[in-house]
Amino acid sequence: MEAELVQRLKIPFQAIPAAGLHGIGIRTLPANLVKLARGVAAAGRILKDFRPHAVLYTGGFIAAPMALVARQIPSLLFVPDIEPGMALKFIARFASIIALTSMESAKYFKHHERLIETGYPTRSNLLPIDKTIAKTHFGLKTEKPTILAFGGSKGAHSINQALTAILPDLLEIAQVIHISGAFDWHATQTIFQQLPVRQQADYKIFPYLHEEMGLAFSASDLVISRAGASTLGEYPLFKLPAILIPYPHAWRYQKVNAQFLASQGAAMVINDEDLAAKLFPALIELFDNPHEITKMGSSMAQLLQPQAASKIADLLLEIAGKTQTERGTA
């Protein structure tokens, strides 16, 4: 995915082999150790050719090979989620500065000297627009509440199932933009075709959205989604209250993200195993109390840090500048 996104922006890209070592079976460990060793070798070759003044780390185990090789180069670690995984905790020992989406993460790095809250950076082309214009773009009614439901870049089967099961009742009180992901796309199309024509008008389906994601956020009054790191930056940008369903089959970082947003009054949290039973009652509760949706949106907006990308860039330039001085370059 990273390669596709970077290539679309015409930025040079080199992949490095990597594999996780935490929480894997004994049979997988030898192969992952070999892949890690190959990653370290590849990272060494890249450093020799590129000679960077600074290194930016984010994400998980994929960054570990470079961190091992680039220990002597000034580096910035950006922690996108509230709770870092094992790989980021490991990389932190090499980082010159640790940039945090929220100071809520500081408790995981108690012994590091420089912890700076930057917020979560969002794409420069992801911008709020007028809600009426956004709804009109999707052919939605301007006066009817709008829900955006999606499961991230690959979709989320449990969210798709829970949503489509309640569609006949839900579409009586709201209209829905549903991004199903590729896996459930054909099933979603079939469900759409089975709806009455009048309800089809209020149900907009897509396998995915790229450039139109800002329009979808802008058109919506509430979002139903997983709780990946981007929720910490994108939802505050669009003042979007959320019902969050943390992904249950991975490290608990999504659960911690969701709990943080809920603690700020910006979101409700439903566990994946409870989704089928609890989603519709939660929606009814919110739409019966529209002031609560407004309150959640205001709380979400309070978390916005619009200069996050600039802050991270400034920190990188700061540590890169020190390297330039040491090398005697301009």
pTM of this structure: 0.90
Question: Residues of CATH 3.40.50.2000 domain(s) within the chain?
Answer: 2-119+307-327, 131-301
- What b/e readout covers 241-252, taking b as 16+ CB neighbours within 10 angstroms? bbbbbbbeeebe
List of the chain residues with pLDDT < 70: 1-2, 18-26, 29, 32, 152-155, 322-330
The pLDDT, as a whole number, for residue 325 is 53
Enumerate residues 6+ apart whose C-beta is below 8 A from 246: 226, 227, 252, 254, 255, 257, 258, 269, 271, 272
Q: What is the pLDDT of residues 63-84, one digit of tens each?
A: 888 988 999 999 999 999 999 9
Structure tokens at 54: 């600074």
β-partners of residue 223 are: 148, 242
Task: Decide if domain 2-119+307-327 falls under CATH 3.90.950.10.
Answer: no
Calculate the CA 43 to chain-centre distance: 26
The pLDDT, as a whole number, for residue 23 is 55
Q: Of 12, 77, 5, which Cα lies nearest the Cα of 49?
A: 12
For residue 4, CA distances in Å to 10, 66, 137 come to 10, 21, 27
The pLDDT, as a whole number, for residue 4 is 73
The pLDDT, as a whole number, for residue 329 is 47
Q: How far apart are CA 312 and CA 58, in angstroms?
A: 12
Residue pair 278/245 in contact (Cβ under 8 Å)? The answer is no
Homologous superfamily, domain 131-301? Glycogen Phosphorylase B; (3.40.50.2000)
